Structure 1
Amino acid sequence: MGQDKRTLDFLGLFVRHQQEIYAYILTLVPHVNDADDLFQDGMTVMWRKFDQFTPGTNFAAWGIQIMRYQILEYRRNLARSKCVLMEDSLFEALLDHMPAIQDELAARIEALRTCQGRLDDRARRILKMRYEHNSPVEEIASYLKVSRRHVYHLLGRINGVLLRCMRRTLAEGSRPV
């Protein structure tokens, strides 16, 4: 029973913060395929080390720290193959600035979640089809029984609503209380 709870605890935290962790990797790794591999490998390390995570602390920060070591190892392997993407000093400077970037990214992700929650069911379904399931516009048009052009119009309108909502949400969050 304890193992089941541990698994559920890990999965709950991981699902909640996976976008934030993956975005961190993408910021530092130029190739999406490499970022995907690092994410998978890092997730395995996170699971193995989950006993070291202190409940109630920042899971994303803990996971990002693990990913940081995965990325450094990735860079060492690249250096051995003589494929250096960025000088080490520049990369270290970027790593030093990542906490501030990560905080901003986390706020944006949370604002996006909040704003998506305010959309009606139809708009959420359209977004899910297009961006989560990567459904072609033709498929969405067929499902909705509208033209492709109308789907593009709907996506533009929904994205505009999300953008305005996120700007407002982020501005409200930056005001002193």
Structure 2
Amino acid sequence: MEPPKPVADSGSAPAAPSEQFIQLFTKFQRPLYLFLLSQLGSTQEAEEVLQNTNVVLLTKASQFQLGTSFFAWACQVARFEVLQFRQSRHRDRLRFSEDFMDKIATESEGLSDEWERKRLALEACMARLKPEDRELIRQRYQPGTHGKDLADELERPANSVYQSVGRIRRTLLECMRRRLAAENSP
């Protein structure tokens, strides 16, 4: 058996993405996934197209202009990848027009920005909670945790835990409303 032949060098390798690009790339993975999920409706397809989109984003990193909206740029790349994905999958029984899908994509992009604002507001409000309240919320919303199980673990009556969580949630909601309203006021 012959050893593999080296691949011919076709010139210089593309420059590695900048640290700022990598930070933006990482920061917007979840919103980009949610954007793709809104376009495709299937977690498996969204994950597949996200991988393809990530390859393109990293390949075209030098084309991104720092200071512009990374998410908007990434969504444009993702839209193209969604179109390519759909064209490669002729098994879909229901097809929508490209115009309709563009409208959905534009609306989804705006919703992702709104969700990010809300997530940041929640994060800031969580930081303002008393440590024991923050820990109770963290424990309650761990995947697979139920209120009754948490009450048993804390050796508290379930009703007491439910009331505490409800009070903390109302506090967080009010804090978020104030923060978001302050962002929107001139």
**TM-score when normalising by structure 2:** 0.68
Counterpart pick for 1:55 among 66, 90, 113: 66
Partner of 1:25: 36
Q: Which amino acid aligns with 1:18?
A: Q
Counterpart pick for 1:110 among 96, 99, 120: 120
Corresponding residue pairs, total: 171
Contact 2:35 2:105 in 1 (8 A): no
- Whole-angstrom CA distance in 2 between matches of 1:55 and 1:45: 17
Per-residue CA deviations over 1:61-117 (Å, capped at 9, x if unaligned) read: 222222222222233234x11332544442232234444434433332332232233
Partner of 1:72: 83
Counterpart pick for 2:166 among 156, 164, 168: 156
Please give the root-mean-square deviation of Cα atoms over the aligned residues, in Å: 3.2
Partner of 1:38: 49
Instruction: Give the gaps of 5 or more residues in structure 2.
Output: 1-14
Contact 1:10 1:47 in 2 (8 A): no
Instruction: Give the gaps of 5 or more residues in structure 1.
Output: none
Indicate the larger mover: 61-70 or 102-111: 102-111
Q: Which amino acid aligns with 1:74?
A: F
- Whole-angstrom CA distance in 1 between matches of 2:92 and 2:83: 15
Distance 1:167 1:147, change over 3 A: same
Per-residue CA deviations over 1:145-177 (Å, capped at 9, x if unaligned) read: 44555444444333332222222211111112x
**TM-score when normalising by structure 1:** 0.71
- 1:174 equivalent to 2:184? Answer yes
- Whole-angstrom CA distance in 2 between matches of 1:52 and 1:76: 26
Distance 1:11 1:174, change over 3 A: same
Q: What is the deviation of 1:139? A: 5.7
Contact 1:20 1:109 in 2 (8 A): no
